[in-house]
Copies of this chain bind each other. A is one copy, B any other.
């Protein structure tokens, strides 16, 4: 696993249930709200400083994702409203010339099964559906929206000797 983690260049993420707790808050004026976690965001920002690339592939479509993930966290590739995750994955591989074993994908539900066999590592939050847990290479200790993504980012960065750079940035 350490060796496989060392090869990862792109981390591709599902949103609901992975970067969030799966909750969809709806108000009586039609406002939608999702809950992200600051630690996931911190992990993404620090990983990007160390050269890792990120993509979002999600079946839903909402301004929330553009605001939090594209504008604020400046994720490299954000794809929403995706019917076929495998199709977008294929396009990204071509566009950026990414090899299969350079991709870690993280998702929590059966629609994430689409990428199985087409990524180097499949990871999932602790509270994923059974079908995903069974085929995942790594199940995080944390649940979605409470640091599951951060945990996986750290695993990749530690295997690649990059996490110590983060520590040094804050503790010179």
Contacts and interface: CB of A to CB of B under 8 A. Distances in A.
Interface of A: 16-17, 22-39, 41-42, 60, 62-64, 67-68, 85, 109-114, 116, 129, 131, 145-147, 166-167, 170-171
A33 B37 CA distance: 12
Nearest to A46: B110
B28 A63 contact: yes
Contact of A23 (B22, B37, B85): B37
Contacts of A147: 22
Given A111-B170, A114-B171, A38 B16 contact: yes
B17 A25 contact: no
A13 to B, nearest CB: 14
